[in-house]
Structure 1
Amino acid sequence: MPQQTELRGGGSVPTLPGDPLLDNAVWAALDGPHAHLAERVGRAARYQDGIYAFAALADPADPAAWDDLCTLLGPGTTVRIKPVDRVPDGWRIEGEGEGVQLVDTALRAEPAPEAERLGPADVPEILDLVARTRPGPFLKRTVEMGTYLGIRHEGRLVAIAGERLRLPGWTEISAVCTDPGHRGRGLATRLVRAVAWGIRERGDTPFLHAAVDNAPAIRLYESIGFTLRRRSRIVQVRSAGTTEAGGAL
């Protein structure tokens, strides 16, 4: 039987068995299919500026990996990282949260004929929609991480979904959002199914992440065939170094 992890506000997340790459997905992506989007020093890596504001360690419990990350970032630099249980001395936690990971176990994937592929020219519209719906981090170069699909109404972009982390055998579905005036029409579900269809076509399995307290999103994903796998702590950390005033951090 899978171990049960309690959720804030009730309920639990089963820690399901599976590919250990999923336990450190950002590193698996940067060390694998997304290596061309990475900046790396030894056992630490991060996405290039403007793509995704996360760094990763080959082993978050390895002090040498943290030293590599400090070298990569430079002194006094802030970055998000997961999964992390604790940070070494000299690093400062500036924020933290919790997320859940869900994997495709029974999703019906199918193309969406009304969806169009989005690219760099669509980024201003994507950023506007993301700012109004807050599905999670999306930057000016995030579209370079994979395929993003959108649905328009009278020429205006009203729903999107796409691929973010890509690791061997797995691709994350992300940036799922719908304009408030167009909700209730199943647009997000159609786009998730369409993105998943493309992922499966190349032999990968879809997975995704959600904030632990985003109950509506978690219910939606479970209802269409995703299963909660695990939860993880996300921290925003500042590397060891000096402040602008010259004081030790």
Structure 2
Amino acid sequence: MKEIDKLDNPVWHSLSESHHSFAIDYNTVKFYQPDYCPFGGFTAVDTTYTAFTEYSKLVANFFIVGEKPKIPNSLKLNKELVCLQMVVTDKIDMEIKDEIVELGPEHYEELYELICLVQPAYFKRKTSLLGRYYGIFKNNKLIAVTGERMKMNHYIEVSAVVTHPNHTGMGYAKQLTTHTVNAIFDQSKKPYLHVAETNSIAIALYKKLAFTTRRKISFWNIVT
């Protein structure tokens, strides 16, 4: 398998490679531990029932990324979020005007609150431990962030591109995405990201930063 083809099943390959220590492994199905990230992936669609049932005992709301899953009658397929999976092949050459801070434990609660304000459901209290997160502060308040989520041996997902609603339109997301992308290249890895296909503003931003669409990929929300 080519390395880039692993992006077709990003949760599975992240939990098989760089993030293996965060995995709950059901043989042909792998999930992140739910307090880190409620995401799962599988390799054999007909073998998912037991894994889904067991994982649903740990968390009532989770996502399968990739192919449409088959679920047991005890669970419900709540919705399909169709995303563009976008990649960038080179460092981004753009001036960064604002100070960007790598966030540490002293910032994690503020990071959690900001992301949950803008993107509820995806970010958990331990998600910040999956990678590096960066932020911009104004008047000692965290007002914009971006970071790393799923990690493979050769790819790292750019995630949580979030700006507080009172501070949008100032170019913070563009600067943070640039910083995060370039930091991933500095690790000798390649960046990719997922963005809802309906989020035209974010898609336009990423295109300006030279991201291109690799494929569409679905996040299937399953609930008990």
TM-score range relative to shorter protein: 0.7 to 0.9
**SS across alignment from 1:19:** helix
Aligned AA (1:99): C
Q: Aligned in 2, Cα 1:74/1:154: closer, same or farther, shift over 3 Å?
A: closer
Aligned pairs, number: 221
Give the alignment partner of residue 198 of structure 1, picking from 169, 183, 187. 183
Q: Aligned in 2, Cα 1:184/1:210: closer, same or farther, shift over 3 Å?
A: same
Residue 154 in structure 1 maps to residue 143 in structure 2: no
Aligned AA (2:79): G
* Aligned residues of 1:56 and 1:82 also touching (Cα < 8 A): yes
Partner of 1:81: 64
Give the alignment partner of residue 128 of structure 2, picking from 126, 129, 143. 143
Rg (Cα) greater in structure: 1
Residue 105 in structure 1 maps to residue 89 in structure 2: yes
**SS across alignment from 1:209:** strand
Whole-angstrom CA distance in 1 between matches of 2:52 and 2:82: 22
Whole-angstrom CA distance in 1 between matches of 2:29 and 2:213: 28
Q: Aligned in 2, Cα 1:111/1:199: closer, same or farther, shift over 3 Å?
A: farther
Q: Which one is further off, 130-139 or 180-189?
A: 130-139
Partner of 1:187: 172
Deviations 1:126-166 (A, max 9, x none): 12222333287211001111000011111111110000111
Partner of 2:161: 176
Partner of 1:7: none
Whole-angstrom CA distance in 2 between matches of 1:236 and 1:133: 18
Residue 211 in structure 1 maps to residue 208 in structure 2: no
Residue 164 in structure 1 maps to residue 154 in structure 2: no
* Aligned residues of 2:28 and 2:44 also touching (Cα < 8 A): no
Partner of 2:104: 119
* Aligned residues of 1:79 and 1:237 also touching (Cα < 8 A): yes
RMSD, matched Cα: 2.6
Partner of 2:78: 94
Structure 2: 5+ residue stretches without partners: none
The Cα of 1:67 is off from its aligned counterpart by 3.5
Whole-angstrom CA distance in 1 between matches of 2:120 and 2:199: 10
Whole-angstrom CA distance in 2 between matches of 1:202 and 1:43: 30
* Aligned residues of 2:48 and 2:69 also touching (Cα < 8 A): no
Whole-angstrom CA distance in 2 between matches of 1:93 and 1:133: 24
* Aligned residues of 2:91 and 2:185 also touching (Cα < 8 A): no
Aligned AA (1:100): L
Structure 1: 5+ residue stretches without partners: 1-16, 240-249
Q: Aligned in 2, Cα 1:237/1:135: closer, same or farther, shift over 3 Å?
A: closer
Give the alignment partner of residue 24 of structure 2, picking from 35, 39, 44. 39
Percent of residue pairs bearing the same amino acid type: 27
* Aligned residues of 1:117 and 1:149 also touching (Cα < 8 A): yes
The Cα of 1:60 is off from its aligned counterpart by 4.4
Q: Aligned in 2, Cα 1:30/1:75: closer, same or farther, shift over 3 Å?
A: closer
